[in-house]
Structure 1
């Protein structure tokens, strides 16, 4: 009797499994939204739009970019963390909303490590110390420090927002050089750069790719790169280390994340497709064009990288005792 029942039981199990698979639509079942936590025009937005274009060609559904800026990227990040773990709402994550903003904003409603599924590492770009040449005569870091110290009141420096890598670098810059500045936060790089070009602020700390076109055109002057080595896209710009400040280093990393609890199959698929997208001619050319250095990481390695960044860099930010105004 038991032997006669076994085929029946196996058939019923197979039927149940096939029914369950039919009930579960193949992922992705509809358009995927890629949330950018800063306004259009910045490095995150540029990379997100190229990534969305390539992924749309590789996946059965389109990937569209949606900008949700504000509060150093924490508003967009909080939104993504609150969404269903179905792989249909993702985030172009970066250093600000994950590492540097949470320590300085009160009551950030997410855990930067456990509140997300950290899917894929994209790359990182250094900052550039850049000035409006009509307002600042300095041509190197020593001259800029001397100019700042000679002003009757601390000049303003622009950043892409309170809690951004540029903001934290500005605090480190003042601590290391003794030059006093006033932080002027913006809701992203694009509006900040408009004010820098217009003369509303004399200098800024910002990602290199965002500024390289204006640097080449002479509308802005690059003073130093916050990287240990000169960059291929601007080889004429010296590093902060060459200027005598080897500890003044900073970079903004970019990655792909989603809400916590994404199914393992979706995570594996998204990681594989993102790695393939990064290897595509279009994505690779745009990544290199914007000075973003790629470094291969597995999904677990990226998760550990984020945890280390939050612990080390986020801990250092917290120790500064900064608060967002």
Structure 2
């Protein structure tokens, strides 16, 4: 029997170490993928996740199953995701609420998005937009609205999708920037809040551009400001709120996340295929129809982006005094 020298054994070990990542990458995916979505089917995040999932299924040669886990501000989806195997076969599509806001809002979470999750790619963003009922608040410009609110401290209500939601925190940031008291009216979601806004039961609210746009175009509500740094093509003539209240920003982004510990080769492949999908014609049509905007942030810069967003929303939660159990 030939004798294996120590040098030969070391050489074999080194070669195996180099080959292992290649094999791991070649083996992925070995079964269907699952994308967890922290919202019910049919919403903006779900629609985007399904569109990206369909493109990933084509590129990776495996089915991609969308698993909607709505409830508890996204905590149910985050907990299920944290318990999965870190092999790339389970992914999470999440927004700033789950990744950045909840850790400041809840005293305890069954996972830590900072250490348990790894950002893979940003999928899209939508600014939030300030909308009013034009019969209750007939102003046609943002400065006129602000002047009215300041002249009537504590008398103007604003609706939101619920206490501690991004739309509530955006309203609180607006209240603080205007500098007078306003009354928050929470609803169980943005849809019932919008229904009451159109009916005139609440005079104003912030909503995501994609969901507010049909009501703006139909004349049920009037958009007076967009919470992005630049004007939005979907709202011609509507000025950024930051042009009147400097620094005001509230953008709802959606990102794709893997679990910490997922092999780098697997994460890199998912990132690559996701970016190809986002650049394709199918998603370009969806972006146009739903008023999505691309977020071409390199993967290496995503941790810093998420950290900056977390700091900004943590301060918004602190200033609002909102807490969740």
Q: TM-score, normalised by structure 2?
A: 0.83
Pick which of 276-285 and 187-196 moved more.
187-196
Change (3 A) 1:246 1:289: farther
Task: Give 1:116 shift.
Answer: 0.4
Task: Give 1:149 shift.
Answer: 5.8
Secondary structure, aligned partner of 2:137: coil
Inter-partner Cα distance in structure 2 for 1:162 and 1:212 = 23
Q: Is the 8 A contact 2:169 2:317 kept in 1?
A: no
Higher helix content, 1 or 2: 2
Inter-partner Cα distance in structure 1 for 2:146 and 2:220 = 21
Q: Is the 8 A contact 2:79 2:111 kept in 1?
A: yes
Task: Give 1:179 shift.
Answer: 4.0
Is there any run of 5+ residues in structure 1 with no aligned partner, and where? none
Secondary structure, aligned partner of 2:158: strand
Task: Give 1:277 shift.
Answer: 0.6
Partner of 1:253: 253
Change (3 A) 1:193 1:46: farther
Q: Is the 8 A contact 1:40 1:190 kept in 2?
A: no
Change (3 A) 1:200 1:253: same
Inter-partner Cα distance in structure 1 for 2:256 and 2:189 = 19
Partner of 1:309: 309
Is there any run of 5+ residues in structure 2 with no aligned partner, and where? none
Q: Is the 8 A contact 1:128 1:206 kept in 2?
A: yes
Task: Give 1:80 shift.
Answer: 1.7
The 5-angstrom pairing of residues 264-283 of structure 1 reads 264-283=264-283
Inter-partner Cα distance in structure 2 for 1:23 and 1:258 = 16
Change (3 A) 1:235 1:272: same
Task: Give 1:153 shift.
Answer: 6.1
Q: Is the 8 A contact 1:157 1:204 kept in 2?
A: yes
Q: TM-score, normalised by structure 1?
A: 0.83
Q: Is the 8 A contact 1:118 1:302 kept in 2?
A: yes
Task: Give 1:43 shift.
Answer: 2.8
Task: Provide the alpha-carbon RMSD of the alignment.
Answer: 3.6
Q: Is the 8 A contact 1:82 1:259 kept in 2?
A: no
Q: Is the 8 A contact 1:39 1:187 kept in 2?
A: no
